[in-house]
Amino acid sequence: MSALSTTPTDPAVLRQAFGCFPSGVTALCALGPGGPMGMAASTFTPVSLRPPLVSVCVQDTSSTWPKLRTQSRLGLSVLAEEQDLVCRSLAGKGGDRFADVDWEASESGSVYIHGAGLWLDCSVHAEFPGGDHTIVLLEIHALRAEPDREPLVFHGSRFRRLAA
């Protein structure tokens, strides 16, 4: 292994370094006044069992998060291995992000993506500044898990599948 880089502030170097760590991909969605709204987030982490908390990190430049954070309930869906197109749609910057996405909404306004391996009904518990992102703690109120469904994995700036 070569010496450590002395320029960890270079965004391209950091993006490449962070890409060495595989992550799952989630959709964070809610039903707003104009219909479903949502975004993709690959910085999802289970945090606590008591209280039940998870975290996501949201770019401070996001135009979707300010709308989502005002909703009383949010649906978090952990996307399954065949849902890379769903992720690309929800990560899009324009148009109808839900045009080709199969979804449903709960009575509380949480929106879930069909075919996902996990659905979490959440509310915002706390937010913390984290550089150019906001770290959002979400409290889990209800869930539905399908542990046999393989997750969508993001690694090295591309989608991958787990191998047995």
The number of CA neighbours under 13 Å toward the Cβ of 148 is 0
The rounded distance, in Å, linking the Cα atoms of 41 and 26 is 5
> What one-character-per-residue DSSP string does 102-145 give?
-EEE-TTSBEEETT-SEEEEEEEEEEEEETTEEEEEEEEEEEEE
The rounded distance, in Å, linking the Cα atoms of 5 and 54 is 32
In this predicted structure, what is the pLDDT of residue 6? 64
* Residues 47 and 54 sit within 8 Å (Cβ to Cβ): yes
In this predicted structure, what is the pLDDT of residue 54? 97
C-alpha closest to that of 87 among 99, 95, 79: 79
Per-residue pLDDT of the chain (164 residues; tens, 9 = 90+): 567 666 677 778 777 777 777 788 999 999 999 999 999 988 899 999 999 999 999 999 999 999 999 999 999 999 999 999 999 999 988 788 999 899 999 999 999 999 999 999 999 999 999 999 999 999 999 999 999 999 999 878 888 887 76
